[in-house]
């Protein structure tokens, strides 16, 4: 470009459809006949639905009644049901007077998850935080030491159980998944075949079938007189399931590392594990952090499937609250309440993952 | 390193069994790994056999020929409790496939609309679509199923007060009732449809050949529409136009006649479609965004209409990005249909579960479930891989 048109000294006015408050909105909502039609239709649906929804959820809702009969009279939602049953939904059948323990455990688990998201903790300290955090949770929940009464894990339930299943799940599935990914990229045919079969087998079947397997088949697999309790069996199934998905994600990261990195590491005389630990994995794992967050979100949602084998997580606790004969028929309220809890966790994690993605990509962009 | 003598005649270096030889190490590692796996398998199998003996459970698939003795709520093929377990499992598998196939079709349509809607220039549409995506994909599917099921069974009126938005359509807590078609000409009409599908494929082939030879574009869309409308009507006329509408009507406490969408199936389908559509919308959106804007402009400057630009230039490129993640969404939907067991839809998991409780054949039951899902998953991924290869970029 050698010639440029001289720009008038006062400059051109901005395009007409960009000036003022209304024109941009006109462009956004009524730019073409089809757009007008779409806007009007959507607006009509929203005008019909949103006020009715607000009416149901807030204006006509009953927040305070103490009995179901009173609550049924209200035209809107019966949040009094949640007020009545929130301890059962949040903490399950954990002994009522000891419920401060699962509360603290929940806070610790959330803190561990938040710390993992902060970049300042992305080093060896993070592993320490996880070990300390998860041990503290186990001590708090089980008790039996430091003067805490022992609580059997069949009594655990609600939100802490959902968090425990997903955080312990990811904590054990992650190393396993990395090993499986390395195995799948291995040059040794037997090891590669074993890893491929494991990964494809697990990814080909639904989590439910693994949970069923853990609840009915695992007891048959073990020697006579030896048994593992139901919660641990479900946790093993979740770990096995998550590991296969993590392995595929990590493999993607490993494939994205240029060959020169492997050759460079080779020429430094590093052995296989040194290469992986010091050169390849730090780069590969960095690439796959956003998809790993997605896997964690999926895992968090998938823990709700333990309902089917009768483990008392958040969802089953809500169903238990619903089965109280005195408070029958408030399913929608209960499900909306726990949906909100799931939504808050999953939405904040997915927003975090999106922000992280743009931040991590910032260095690569030119 | 073996010692190298420059004076010595060149001979193949002697291979010694040394720990420093990576080949030797690899063999040792693999033998150890295989031995460990074999030992673990042997340990588990021997324990299992031992346990089965102690509990007096017989193994094998012989029980499949025994009488099932339980009823199934929804049966796409004839089934009665006097039939065998094998037949019951077959019914369950058909129910799973029915939910999966319908789910995939509707989720693709809804998901594509929402994905395109998120990219719309219309601010309101784009916002509504992104709120939909964010809400639906951040709430567990199981919870959504419970929600829809509770909404239908608890909050819908009974059959006597059923909503009746259109004549012949009833919405109540017994599910959705719509008029069905019956009569001898149904076979002819279906035959006409099948013929129309074959005809469209043939015409498409011929049209493409002709375009390559002469450059003339064949109006395939209009021709296909004509075939799809014309042939079934032709079949209807040939068969003597005997077709009647089977309207559902209220008899006593329930409806009779018409086609039924049970509350379980309706809740399952609604949950699967609404949940998966949110993920498909994201796949479609990222696929369209992956196509360079210059492609639109270049195609426009060739004088192509906007619809043709989308169909001939943008979509083929977007599909390359879309197909692999779409495949995994289809697989997820199929696997997620197993959640049906939680709301009592008789899919394969729930039928096998009942069977396991009755017979105690846990191992065989789990194996049947896994084999069924592996077969379905593999078939879908083989088909999608074939399709993906067909539309992949042909490079020199």
Which residues in chain A have their CB less than 8 angstroms from residue B373's CB?
204-206, 209
Higher pLDDT, B189 or B253: B189
Give the separation between CA A266 and CA B175, rounded to whole angstroms: 65
Would you say residue A5 has pLDDT above 80? Answer: no
Residue B1 has what pLDDT?
45
Give the separation between CA A70 and CA A63, rounded to whole angstroms: 11
The radius of gyration of chain B's CA atoms, rounded to the nearest angstrom, is 29
Q: Where among A151, A170, A192 does a domain terminate?
A: A151
Which residues in chain B have their CB less than 8 angstroms from residue A190's CB?
30, 33-34
Least confident of B21-35, B345-359, B380-394: B380-394
Q: Are residues A189 and A206 in the same domain?
A: yes
- What mean pLDDT do residues A137-162 have? 79
Would you say residue B239 has pLDDT above 80? Answer: no
Cα distances (angstroms) measured from residue B82 to each of A103, B68, B77, B78, B85: 52, 6, 14, 11, 9
For residue A186, the enclosing domain spans: 152-222+229-355
Domain assignment present for A363: no
Q: Are residues A158 and A296 in the same domain?
A: yes
Nearest CB to B124; choose among A29, A212, A347? A29
Would you say residue B96 has pLDDT above 50? Answer: yes
| Interface with A, mutate which of B30, B125, B146, B152 (most A CBs under 10 A) | B146
Which chain A residue shows the shortest CA-CA distance from B33? A191
The CATH class of B85-151+263-391 is mainly alpha
The radius of gyration of chain A's CA atoms, rounded to the nearest angstrom, is 27
Would you say residue A9 has pLDDT above 50? Answer: yes
Strand partners, B260: B177
Higher pLDDT, B67 or A167: A167
The dihedrals phi and psi of B197, each to the nearest 5 degrees, come to -60, -50
Scanning B374-393 for CB atoms below 8 A from A yields 374, 377-378
For B211-234, the pLDDT digits (tens) are: 888 877 777 778 888 888 888 788
Domain assignment present for A65: no
Q: Are residues A259 and A296 in the same domain?
A: yes
Residue A176 has what pLDDT?
94
Give the separation between CA A310 and CA A312, rounded to whole angstroms: 6
Q: Are residues A131 and A157 in the same domain?
A: no
Would you say residue B292 has pLDDT above 90? Answer: no
In the block, tokens 């693999």 appear at B30
Task: Indicate whether this complex's ipTM tops 0.90.
Answer: no
Q: Are residues A127 and A208 in the same domain?
A: no
Domain boundaries, chain B: 85-151+263-391, 182-242
Which residues in chain B have their CB less than 8 angstroms from residue A35's CB?
121-122
Scanning B91-130 for CB atoms below 8 A from A yields 120-125, 128
Instruction: State whether B124 and A307 contact (CB < 8 Å).
Output: no
Q: Are residues A349 and A306 in the same domain?
A: yes
Q: Are residues A107 and A159 in the same domain?
A: no
Give the separation between CA A306 and CA A207, rounded to whole angstroms: 9
Q: Are residues A125 and A236 in the same domain?
A: no
- What mean pLDDT do residues B301-321 have? 83
Please choose, from the candidates B310, B269, B323, the residue with its C-alpha nearest in 3D space to the C-alpha of residue B102.
B269
Instruction: State whether A206 and B139 contact (CB < 8 Å).
Output: no
Instruction: State whether B138 and A39 contact (CB < 8 Å).
Output: no
For B254-272, the pLDDT digits (tens) are: 666 667 778 888 899 999 9
- What mean pLDDT do residues A223-232 have? 78
Residue B269 has what pLDDT?
92
Give the separation between CA A55 and CA A44, rounded to whole angstroms: 17
Domain assignment present for A17: no
Domain assignment present for A366: no
Scanning B142-161 for CB atoms below 8 A from A yields 142-144, 146-147, 150-151, 154-155
Please give the structure tokens belonging to residue B346: 């008789």
Cα distances (angstroms) measured from residue B8 to each of A141, B3, B12: 73, 11, 11
Domain assignment present for A106: yes
| Continuous segment of H or E residues that includes residue B244 | strand B244-246
Domain assignment present for A277: yes
Domain assignment present for A72: no
Please tell me the total count of domains within chain A: 2
Would you say residue B237 has pLDDT above 80? Answer: no
Domain assignment present for A362: no
For A300-355, the pLDDT digits (tens) are: 998 988 888 888 888 888 888 888 777 777 778 888 888 999 999 899 988 888 88
Residue A366 has what pLDDT?
47
Residue B221, judged by CB atoms within 10 A of its CB (0-12, 13-18, 19+), counts as exposed
Q: What is the DSSP letter of A278?
A: I
In the block, tokens 């220039």 appear at B121
Would you say residue A2 has pLDDT above 60? Answer: no
């Amino acid at each position: 470009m050698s010639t440029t048109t001289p720009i008038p000294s006062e400059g051109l006015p901005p395009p007409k459809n960009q000036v003022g408050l209304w024109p941009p909105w006109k462009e956004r909502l009524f730019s073409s006949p089809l757009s007008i039609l779409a806007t009007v239709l959507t607006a009509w649906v929203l005008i019909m639905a949103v006020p009715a929804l607000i009416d149901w959820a807030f204006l006509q809702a009953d927040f305070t009644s103490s009995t179901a009969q009173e609550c049924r009279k209200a035209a809107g939602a019966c949040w009094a049901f949640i007020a009545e049953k929130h301890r059962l939904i949040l903490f399950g059948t954990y002994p009522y007077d000891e419920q401060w323990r699962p509360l603290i455990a929940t806070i610790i688990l959330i803190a561990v998850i938040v710390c993992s998201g902060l970049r300042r903790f992305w080093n060896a300290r993070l592993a320490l935080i996880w070990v300390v955090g998860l041990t503290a949770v186990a001590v708090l929940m089980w008790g039996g030491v430091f003067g805490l009464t022992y609580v059997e894990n069949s009594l655990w339930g609600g939100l802490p159980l959902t968090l425990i299943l997903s955080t312990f799940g990811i904590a054990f599935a992650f190393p396993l998944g990395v090993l499986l990914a390395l195995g799948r990229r291995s040059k040794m045919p037997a090891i590669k075949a074993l890893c491929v079969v494991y990964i494809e087998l697990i990814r080909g079947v639904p989590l439910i079938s693994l949970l069923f397997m853990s609840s009915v088949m695992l007891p048959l697999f073990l020697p006579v007189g030896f048994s593992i309790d139901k919660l641990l069996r479900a946790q093993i199934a979740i770990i096995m399931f998550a590991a296969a998905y993590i392995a595929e994600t990590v493999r993607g990261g490993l494939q994205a590392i240029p060959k020169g990195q492997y050759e460079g590491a080779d020429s430094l005389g590093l052995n296989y594990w040194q290469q992986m630990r010091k050169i390849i994995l730090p780069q590969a794992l960095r690439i796959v952090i956003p998809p790993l967050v997605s896997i964690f979100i999926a895992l968090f949602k998938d823990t709700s499937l333990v309902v089917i084998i009768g483990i008392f997580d958040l969802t089953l606790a809500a169903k238990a609250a619903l089965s109280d004969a005195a408070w029958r028929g408030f399913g929608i309220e209960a499900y909306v309440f726990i949906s909100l809890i799931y939504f808050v966790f999953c939405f904040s994690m997915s927003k975090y993952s999106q922000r992280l993605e743009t931040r991590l990509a910032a260095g690569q962009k030119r | 390193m073996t010692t190298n003598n420059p004076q010595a005649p060149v001979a193949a270096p002697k291979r010694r069994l040394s720990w420093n030889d990576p080949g030797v190490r690899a063999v040792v590692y693999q033998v150890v790994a295989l031995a460990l796996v074999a030992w673990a398998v042997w340990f588990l199998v021997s324990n299992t056999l031992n346990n089965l003996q102690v509990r007096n459970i017989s193994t094998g698939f012989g029980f499949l020929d025994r009488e099932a003795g339980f009823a199934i709520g929804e049966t796409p093929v004839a089934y009665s409790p006097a039939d065998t377990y094998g037949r019951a499992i077959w019914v369950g598998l058909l129910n799973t496939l029915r939910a999966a196939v319908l789910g995939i079709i509707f989720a693709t349509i809804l998901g594509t609309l929402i994905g395109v809607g998120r990219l719309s220039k219309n601010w309101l549409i784009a916002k509504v679509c992104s709120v939909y995506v964010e809400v639906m994909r951040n709430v567990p599917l199981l919870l959504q199923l419970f929600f829809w099921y509770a909404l239908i069974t608890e909050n819908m009126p009974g059959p006597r007060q059923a909503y009746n938005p259109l004549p012949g359509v009833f919405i109540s807590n017994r599910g959705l009732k719509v008029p069905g078609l019956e009569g001898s000409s149904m076979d002819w009409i279906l035959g006409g449809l099948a013929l129309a599908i074959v005809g469209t494929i043939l015409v498409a082939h011929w049209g493409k050949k002709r375009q390559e030879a002469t450059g003339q574009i064949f109006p395939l869309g209009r021709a296909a529409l004509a075939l799809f409308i014309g042939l079934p009507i032709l079949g209807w006329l040939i068969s003597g136009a005997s077709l009647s509408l089977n309207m559902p009507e209220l008899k006593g406490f329930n409806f009779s006649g018409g086609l039924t969408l049970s509350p379980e199936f309706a809740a399952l389908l609604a949950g699967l479609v609404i949940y998966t559509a949110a993920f498909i919308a994201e796949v479609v959106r990222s696929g369209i965004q992956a196509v360079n804007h210059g492609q639109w402009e270049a195609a426009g400057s060739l004088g192509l209409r906007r619809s043709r630009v989308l169909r001939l230039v943008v979509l083929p490129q977007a599909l390359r990005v879309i197909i692999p993640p779409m495949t995994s969404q289809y697989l997820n939907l199929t696997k997620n249909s197993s959640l049906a067991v939680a709301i009592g839809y008789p899919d394969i998991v729930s039928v096998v579960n009942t069977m396991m409780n009755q017979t105690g054949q846990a191992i065989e039951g789990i194996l049947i479930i896994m084999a069924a899902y592996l077969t379905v998953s593999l078939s879908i991924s083989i088909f999608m891989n074939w399709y993906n290869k067909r539309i992949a970029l042909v490079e020199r």
